[in-house]
Copies of this chain bind each other. A is one copy, B any other.
Amino acid sequence: MTEKKYTIKDIAKLAGVSKGTVDRVIHNRGRVSKEACEKVNQVIAEIDYQPNLIARNLKKNKIYRIYSLIPDAKLDHYWWPTIKGIDQALKEFKPFGLILEKLYFDPKESKSFQEQSDLALSLNPDAILMAPVFHKESLDLFEKCKERSIVIASFNNHIDKLGLENFIGQDLIQSGRVAAGLIDKITNKKCHIGILHINEESHMKNKEKGFRSYFKEKYKKPKEIVTYSLTSNENVNLKDKISQFLKKNAGISAIFVTNSKAYLIANLLKNENKKIMIVGYDLLNENIKLLKNGDIEFLIHQKPYRQAYLGVSYLAENLLFGKKIPSQNLLPIDIITAENVKYYAN
């Protein structure tokens, strides 16, 4: 109620010094006598002084430049929401003097990532936001940013080794457990389950780990869970491979697809007479259609939009207002059904 907005001038008056001295104390720039310093600090503590961020910013009046390093969404549609999230955050921070340029790389070519990250560095940015798809190259970039004190944040997939710094994304092990819990609820105790890895990166193994640990902890008798890793370029006949897999494991009544490719399986199983439950990832249009149709039971949402939005926001608020970036933000693992999907798709 009685909250007064104190300014540096107020502090100066209360402490009996000039605003210059107050300023030096606040930013410990030195050149202040011990007595003055103590007096000022005391006043600051007493009135709980909060600097006016607006004024601070106006004075600085710097334009901050961020580069984002993400896969080309034309090559993998998963990344469309990422772009939208970046754009949304950009829109919000532009009036505060933020500039962001997006650099795209080919998610299958580590060289392309490297090129773009070199480009980003050469442009002397204030911060970089990246999806660290390639392990070694990402570590490299991290190091270089550290050296040059460029702020950096990453999202989507986590890089071990390096400190857990400034990561935004999902806990993949827990994510696998969520999938397991869902399948457990919609199937009967005795059923067999398949895990399908389709053309995917190594970090997806964590999802399987979580998935299996759920059942291991819940049931005394080990449950029948079969893993099948499938790599194929578009040309090779995926259908055959999968049919073969299913024939070989006829007992399977639910399949966990560890990435966004659930639609491939669901489309194949559409016309089978035996109902096989599918739980997959990501709100691609293809997946959503099948979810609404009942061909996919659940999708787990990795929130690419929000990840990107938060990434930009964190960097912007750090540069503009000096806010600390949380060292790790593990986002909620959203469960999506035909009924609630419309609130998540973006």
B335 in contact with A54 (CB, 8 Å): no
B63 in contact with A54 (CB, 8 Å): no
Q: How far is the CA of A52 from the CA of B58 in the complex (A)?
A: 9
A-B contact pairs, 8 of them (CB 8 A): A52-B58, A52-B97, A54-B97, A174-B342, A177-B339, A180-B339, A181-B338, A186-B186
Residues of A within 8 A of B (CB): 1, 3, 5, 50-55, 57-58, 63, 94-97, 99, 101, 174, 177-178, 180-182, 185-186, 214, 297, 321, 330-340, 342-344
Q: How far is the CA of A97 from the CA of B3 in the complex (A)?
A: 10
A96 in contact with B53 (CB, 8 Å): yes
B96 in contact with A297 (CB, 8 Å): no
Q: How far is the CA of A119 from the CA of B182 in the complex (A)?
A: 49
Q: How far is the CA of A337 from the CA of B180 in the complex (A)?
A: 11
Pick the 6 closest A-B CB pairs, nearest first: A332-B343, A335-B335, A178-B339, A181-B339, A333-B340, A53-B95
Q: Which of B5, B58, B332 contacts A97 (CB 8 A)?
A: B5
B95 in contact with A52 (CB, 8 Å): yes
A5 in contact with B63 (CB, 8 Å): yes
User: Which B residues are in CB contact (< 8 Å) with A5?
Assistant: 63, 97
User: Which B residues are in CB contact (< 8 Å) with A53?
Assistant: 95-96
Which residue in chain B gives the minimum CB-CB distance to A344?
B332
Most chain B CB within 10 A, of A53, A181, A340, is at: A340
CB distance from A272 to the nearest CB of B (A): 19
CB distance from A299 to the nearest CB of B (A): 11
A343 in contact with B339 (CB, 8 Å): no
B57 in contact with A54 (CB, 8 Å): yes
Q: Which of B3, B63, B181, B334 contacts A334 (CB 8 A)?
A: B334
CB distance from A130 to the nearest CB of B (A): 19
User: Which B residues are in CB contact (< 8 Å) with A54?
Assistant: 54, 57-58, 95-97
Which residue in chain B gives the minimum CB-CB distance to A60?
B54
Q: How far is the CA of A331 from the CA of B332 in the complex (A)?
A: 15
Q: How far is the CA of A185 from the CA of B339 in the complex (A)?
A: 12
CB distance from A11 to the nearest CB of B (A): 16
User: Which B residues are in CB contact (< 8 Å) with A344?
Assistant: 332
Q: How far is the CA of A51 from the CA of B343 in the complex (A)?
A: 33
A339 in contact with B174 (CB, 8 Å): yes
Q: How far is the CA of A214 from the CA of B339 in the complex (A)?
A: 9
CB distance from A338 to the nearest CB of B (A): 6
Q: How far is the CA of A99 from the CA of B1 in the complex (A)?
A: 8
A337 in contact with B96 (CB, 8 Å): no
B3 in contact with A99 (CB, 8 Å): yes
Which residue in chain B gives the minimum CB-CB distance to A336?
B335
A297 in contact with B185 (CB, 8 Å): yes
A335 in contact with B340 (CB, 8 Å): yes
CB distance from A276 to the nearest CB of B (A): 14
User: Which B residues are in CB contact (< 8 Å) with A57?
Assistant: 54
Which residue in chain B gives the minimum CB-CB distance to A3?
B99
